[in-house]
Structure 1
Amino acid sequence: MSNTNQGRTGLVLLACCVGQLLVVLDGTIMNVALPSIQSALRFDASTLPWVINAYLIPMAGLLLLAGRMADLFSRRGFFLAGVGLFTLASLAGGFAQNATTLIIARAAQGVGVALMSPATLTVLGTTFTEPAARAKAFGLWGAAGGSGGAIGVLAGGVVTDWLSWRWVLLLNVPVGIALFVVAAISIAPSAAPAGPRKLDVLGALSVTIGIAALVYGIAEGEREGWTSPVSVVSFAIAVVGIGLFLFDQAKLSSAPLMPLNVFRNRAVVAANVSMFCIGAAMAATFYFLTLLMQLVLGYSPLLTGLAYLPLSLAIFLGATAVAAQTSKLGERFTLVSGLGVSVLSLGWMSLAGARASYVIDLLGPCVLFGIGVGMILATTANLATASLPSSQQGLASGLLTTGQTVGGAAGLALLVAVANAGGGKSQIGDEMASGYSHAFLGAAGLLVAGLLAALTVPKASGAVTKDPARVVTHV
């Protein structure tokens, strides 16, 4: 490879990793700033959750559609559009003078992320096709995404304490501008796909409405109760929307948005189930670990953020180290090992009580969990895309990121109920710690389900498809 090509692919890798870091970081950094936002813009208890939900719902609803549209039209164009919209929305949100403006800006951020997130993975998959280089690229992508959640906790504490909640949004602007320039320079336009570029409109509408309604129902169910009218209606819409989408894909559409034959590929199925489970476990672990540190152990937001640094570093090391060895060890071994390590770490973390010491009781499980998460994220991204043709890379990326997002929402809602049943709603430290312990064990149980799925991965699952028109299947 020439120095020019190496330089260009290096910039592509940088752009995709920074884009994914922004996506994940923005999902957690706002949580730390919520109390300051509530005070500054006069949110009440019923509207404050919309700072998060306005971002999450359009993102989850549009990920699959955006990934597929990137396949059909322009991966580079969707990446740039997502970065541009996200940057402009961050600027608008940072200068918001009332609650409504901030919520609209957060919704626009969510749309931008939906356009950008699957494109980061798709661009990597079509740029790095040699197995060793591909594994390294996906390892760094996984490290960036996995570390983003923990970095967001630290950054939120630092920025909110030292500057203002507005800078949680405004800091995205210079990063977004630089990312847009690097991506525009380095990412080559994708070749036009063979055949007509026909969008399955019924499939697009039904899946977008169905997934958005599902995530909204989960969010409202956690807050208002699972039998509340708004939750029941949302879940009914979700069932109808997703059911219509599947029927359309199987029977009606001549150019389906998501060809169902991709699910004949055991590696793709295992990767998506594992990503759903790790999305659920990560969301719950970050949430309850933060509550344990702040509400039970008395850490400040800044100290809590600093306590996450070893976890962030461990995710990075786990992802990059496994990437260098994947071709030797195989995807099944690394995925099963990563899930196993994560299960053990959460079991260890569940032992932390109201008088836990960070060095003795939390540092070890945090580092172990980070290593496991890094291994999982690096491997699932490669598994989900490697054996599908280039014309379906956006679909694979959108499917994977949708699973992670929905898994995070569903897993957190489920484990909040588990924690509350175990004492998490109490104001007594020992009882709160007991509830959080139940949640950590529940997250470990979800990862066991992912581990069982990972055992179905074929041994030779990581080869990149040579024939761009053919889907490799393992029946």
Structure 2
Amino acid sequence: MTRTGPDGARTTAEAPAARASRVILALACAAQFMVVLDVSVVNVALPSIQASLGFAATDLPWVAGAYTLAFAGFLLLGGRLADLYGTRRVLVAGLALFTVPSLIGGLATTPALLIAARAAQGVGAAVLAPATLTVLTTTFPEGPRRTRALAVWTAVSLAGGAAGNLVGGVLTQSLSWRWILLINVPIGAAALALTGRLPAARRRTGRAARLDLPGAATATAGLALLAYGIMQAGPRGWDDPVTAAALAAAALLLAAFALIETRLARDPLIPPRLFRIRAVSAGNAVMLLAGACFQVPMWYFLTLYMQDVLHYTALETGLGFLPHTLLTMIVGLRATPRLMRRVDDRALVIAGALVAAAGFLWQSRITADGGYLSAVLGPAVLMSVGGGLLNTPLTATVTSGVTERDAGAASGLMNTAKQVGGALGLAALTAAVADHAPTPPSLADAYGDAFLIMAVMLLAIAAASLALPPRRDPAAADTPR
């Protein structure tokens, strides 16, 4: 039992529980870092991969796309698995599904094998990512301890996206592109060793729950086809028959999924009762919009600007993202949790969106002859501070008010909103700026337009965040530790 002495200090009886909580947090963050890192780590390594394995130019995007496609498609299923079969069991399965394909991909000798390994990684990531959040929301009760845990998890997630370019550049230039995948093997093995410290799944009472296989099939196929159609819209165009057929099939499958979840399934992947929680429904709508700016598009267009316009090498591009990584960690780990103890979460989300919007507006003014300080570092400060202020309170909001039996479903829904938002945002932005000449001035103008659109979207996020519920008692998070 937790006790405190006269001076408010915790007694030694609490120490084992505190150590166990720290181990669980370390495990969740290590696993989440791998998942997010592998979204962007291949970007700067693509030329090396193409030369090494003899990829055709038309097939090369699938090195990144196979991972994203499988990840987005299986997220809802992955989130529900933890509710039905226990977080520890699902974490072990997800780590294995992610780590083994990383080893196979790192040793691949053909393009087909590498693409297959990346797709298998995506399936593992879809199982793993919701489980890392679920283990935190079921370990730490709502309040200051959960706020601190979510702040660390969110900061690691954001830093993983920024660090992917840095890690990819360093490993590719100093060792080999293969190490962008092989680096996951020791991390995954260490995380697997830590899973033994997780509590065993509690025995269910009442009737046994069943996996919603029709819902899983329609959701997975629908989201996979949606992601595929969006990816094809860039090179083929929105009116291409392949793109149109994929999107039409996705719409039909997702409509069928909604019918199954609301009318037919006994244990649905996404219980309709979740959407009656205002924090979940409104929060995931905001998360979808935030993903369309922060999840993929920001890193994608910044990478292109530094390499195509400023002519940075892979290593220089990776190092160029170092301020984003450091600022995100500092704001997310130090400033935001303290602010959340004094300021309403909704106000922080709105403030973060407005600060980030100013950063994206500044970033939209890039030119072909811009210097690093004014064209990258200056906007990075505002974008990273805004993202750091926004993401942790938003994550806390969308996971609040959810019972333990639905924690995995809520985590899967949040991750799905973020990933689908990133895919939709990237497709829409690339289509919006596709008409440009391949010259540095024209490219700078096109990428600037993309950042301007993202600035407008962040203003929309600030407005949409007014629909988020206020925290019941902002001062309650400032209780003694």
Match of 2:173 among 132, 137, 161: 161
User: CA separation in 1, counterparts of 2:414 and 2:81?
Assistant: 15
Instruction: Summarize the alignment of residues 291-310 of structure 1 with structure 2, pairs less than 5 Å apart.
Output: 291-310=304-323
Structure 1 unaligned segments of length 5 or more: list them.
Answer: 464-475
Match of 1:433 among 427, 430, 444: 444
Match of 2:422 among 408, 432, 441: 408
Identity value in percent: 40
Aligned-residue CA RMSD in angstroms? 1.4
Secondary structure of the 1:386 match is coil
User: CA separation in 1, counterparts of 2:346 and 2:83?
Assistant: 27
Asked if the contact 1:419/1:437 (under 8 Å) is kept, the reply is no
Matched residue type, 1:315: T
Which residue is equivalent to 2:21? Answer: 9
Matched residue type, 2:198: I
Secondary structure of the 2:232 match is helix
Secondary structure of the 1:179 match is helix
Match of 2:458 among 447, 459, 466: 447
User: CA separation in 2, counterparts of 1:192 and 1:229?
Assistant: 50
Instruction: Summarize the alignment of residues 172-321 of structure 1 with structure 2, pairs less than 5 Å apart.
Output: 172-182=184-194, 184-195=195-206, 196-282=208-294, 283-320=296-333, 321=335
Which residue is equivalent to 1:473? Answer: none
Asked if the contact 1:50/1:103 (under 8 Å) is kept, the reply is yes
**Count of residues in Structure 1 that have an aligned counterpart in Structure 2:** 459
Which residue is equivalent to 2:350? Answer: 336
Asked if the contact 2:233/2:431 (under 8 Å) is kept, the reply is no
1:60 and 1:462, CA in 2 relative to 1: closer, same or farther beyond 3 A?
farther
User: CA separation in 2, counterparts of 1:301 and 1:12?
Assistant: 35
C-alpha displacement of 1:447? 2.0
Match of 1:107 among 80, 105, 119: 119
Asked if the contact 1:385/1:393 (under 8 Å) is kept, the reply is yes
User: CA separation in 2, counterparts of 1:386 and 1:441?
Assistant: 33
Give the TM-score normalised by structure 1: 0.94
Instruction: Summarize the alignment of residues 326-475 of structure 1 with structure 2, pairs less than 5 Å apart.
Output: 326-421=340-435, 423=436, 426-460=437-471
Asked if the contact 1:386/1:462 (under 8 Å) is kept, the reply is no
Asked if the contact 1:132/1:324 (under 8 Å) is kept, the reply is no
Matched residue type, 1:450: I
Secondary structure of the 1:270 match is helix
Deviation per residue, 1:234-290 (Å, 9 max, x gap): 111111110001111222223222122322222212321222122111211111111
User: CA separation in 1, counterparts of 2:62 and 2:256?
Assistant: 28
Which residue is equivalent to 2:138? Answer: 126
Deviation per residue, 1:161-214 (Å, 9 max, x gap): 1111111111111111011111x2322123134432122221111111111110
C-alpha displacement of 1:461? 5.3
User: CA separation in 2, counterparts of 1:299 and 1:319?
Assistant: 28
C-alpha displacement of 1:344? 1.0
C-alpha displacement of 1:57? 1.3
1:376 and 1:192, CA in 2 relative to 1: closer, same or farther beyond 3 A?
farther
Which residue is equivalent to 1:467? Answer: none
Matched residue type, 2:386: G
Asked if the contact 2:45/2:314 (under 8 Å) is kept, the reply is no
C-alpha displacement of 1:73? 1.3
Secondary structure of the 1:455 match is helix
Matched residue type, 2:305: L
Which residue is equivalent to 1:81? Answer: 93
C-alpha displacement of 1:45? 1.6
Asked if the contact 1:382/1:462 (under 8 Å) is kept, the reply is no
Matched residue type, 1:322: T
Asked if the contact 2:279/2:400 (under 8 Å) is kept, the reply is no
Matched residue type, 2:400: A
Which residue is equivalent to 2:54? Answer: 42
Deviation per residue, 1:327-347 (Å, 9 max, x gap): 321210111111111111100
Asked if the contact 1:131/1:327 (under 8 Å) is kept, the reply is no
